[in-house]
Amino acid sequence: MQLVVARVGRAHGIKGEVTVEVRTDEPELRLGPGAVLLTDPASAGPLTIETGRVHSGRLLLRFAGVRDRNAAEALRNTLLIAEVDPDQQPEDPDEYYDHQLMDLDVVTKDGTEVGRITEISHLPSQDLFVVERPDG
């Protein structure tokens, strides 16, 4: 299963580092040195993380083969995707992967059926669940 773990932001400095918007609760597991990540668009990768560090509250990564600011800037807005065992569960029992929520029924506290989850969009400030109502 493929899991989006980050989005590449802007280039940082002149040595090929990039800022990343982390989209995983386990960045130390998914975004550590040596991790090989698929990309969207696929033509940008795969990318191997060489180094990572936090600077002013932002995660900075450097990838193998990305040696200057121009190469780093070319990766801007690229999604970083990790291959995850579909049976793997998040460490926190109150967390779920997107695929575990798809097609689940949505009901109110009083048991009224609202619909089922058909799509999940990860927006900058919150996640958006698209719910298809039974009546279409």
Kindly state whether residue 42 falls inside one of the protein's structural domains. Answer: yes
104-127 average pLDDT score: 90
Task: Tell whether 30 and 67 lie within a shared domain.
Answer: yes
- 70: domain CATH number is 2.40.30.60
Burial of 17 (0-12, 13-18, 19+ CB in 10 A): buried
Task: Tell whether 48 and 25 lie within a shared domain.
Answer: yes
- Residue 46 predicted with pLDDT over 80: yes
| Nearest C-alpha neighbor of 8 from the set 47, 36, 50, 56 | 47
Task: Tell whether 74 and 102 lie within a shared domain.
Answer: no
Q: Report the pLDDT value the prediction gives residue 19, as an integer from 0 to 100.
A: 97
pLDDT level of residue 42 (50, 70, 90 thresholds): very high
Q: DSSP letter string over 43-86?
A: GG--EEEEEEEEETTEEEEEETT--SHHHHHTTTTPEEEEE--T
Task: Tell whether 105 and 61 lie within a shared domain.
Answer: no
Task: Tell whether 75 and 112 lie within a shared domain.
Answer: no
Q: Is 131 helix (H, G, I), strand (E, B) or coil?
A: strand
- Residue 118 predicted with pLDDT over 80: yes
- Which structural domain, as residue segments, surrounds residue 46? 2-83
Q: How many CB atoms are located within 10 Å of the residue 85 CB?
A: 7
Distance, CA of 9 to CA of 65 (rounded, Å)? 18
Kindly state whether residue 72 falls inside one of the protein's structural domains. Answer: yes
Q: What is the pTM of this model?
A: 0.74
* 64-114 pLDDT tens trace: 999 999 999 999 999 999 988 777 777 777 878 787 888 999 999 999 999
Domain count of the chain?
2
